[in-house]
């Protein structure tokens, strides 16, 4: 009788990991009481992430930054979520944990892993539609 043993190593609870920094182009926006133009950067390493949002007064996102928002935490990429065909292939559940809160959203990753789209949820509700803006891999 031959016995076969299977040993599994769990590296993280994500289905896969993303590495690198991804950044938007200049976006005109208003959040809460702040209005201006932003560049958002997500940096992923192992199972952690950092989001930096830099605010500019100029429509070209040049010159002085008048405000910076930073979020850091961990992330888990879950199952593929095509939302009954509304989301493209390559869209997955994305759980971001920041301090004592969670943001449940989605992430779409291009096949060559150079472009992302991210959506964020509110509270315990998962956002099921992707965001419009592309985050491109910084080289």
Q: Is the dihedral of CA 23, 29, 35, 37 positive or negative?
A: positive
Please state, in angstroms and rounded to a whole number, the distance separating the CA atoms of residues 56 and 62.
7
Please state, in angstroms and rounded to a whole number, the distance separating the CA atoms of residues 59 and 4.
63
62-117 confidence digits (pLDDT tens): 999 999 999 999 999 999 999 888 999 999 999 999 988 999 999 999 999 999 99
| Backbone φ, ψ for residue 41 (5° rounding) | -125, 125
Residue 7: which pLDDT band, with cuts at 50, 70 and 90?
very low
pTM as predicted: 0.85
- Does residue 4 belong to any structural domain of this protein? no
Q: Residue 13's pLDDT is what?
A: 53
- Does residue 44 belong to any structural domain of this protein? yes
- Does residue 85 belong to any structural domain of this protein? yes
- Does residue 89 belong to any structural domain of this protein? yes
Percentage of the chain beyond pLDDT 90 is 71
Q: Is the dihedral of CA 65, 66, 72, 78 positive or negative?
A: negative
- Does residue 13 belong to any structural domain of this protein? no
Number of domains observed in the structure of the chain: 1
Q: Counting runs of H as helices and runs of E as strands, what totals does the chain give?
A: 0, 9
For residues 129 and 87, is the Cβ–Cβ distance under 8 A? yes
Name the residue range of residue 26's domain. 20-137
Please state, in angstroms and rounded to a whole number, the distance separating the CA atoms of residues 76 and 6.
25
CATH for 116: 2.40.128
46-73 confidence digits (pLDDT tens): 999 999 999 999 999 999 999 999 999 9
- Does residue 40 belong to any structural domain of this protein? yes
Residue 128: which pLDDT band, with cuts at 50, 70 and 90?
confident
């Amino acid at each position: 009788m031959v016995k076969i043993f299977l040993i599994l190593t769990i590296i993280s609870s994500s289905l896969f990991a993303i590495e690198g920094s991804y950044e938007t182009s200049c976006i005109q926006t208003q959040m809460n009481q702040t209005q201006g133009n932003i560049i958002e950067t997500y940096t992923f390493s192992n199972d952690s992430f950092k989001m930096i949002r830099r605010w500019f007064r100029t429509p070209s996102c040049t010159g002085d930054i008048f405000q910076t928002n930073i979020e850091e935490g961990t992330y888990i990429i879950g199952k593929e979520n095509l939302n009954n065909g509304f989301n493209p292939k390559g869209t997955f559940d994305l759980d971001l944990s920041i301090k004592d809160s969670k943001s449940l959203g989605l992430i779409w990753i291009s096949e060559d892993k150079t472009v992302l789209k991210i959506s964020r949820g509110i509270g315990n509700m998962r956002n099921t539609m992707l965001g419009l803006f592309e985050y491109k891999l910084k080289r």
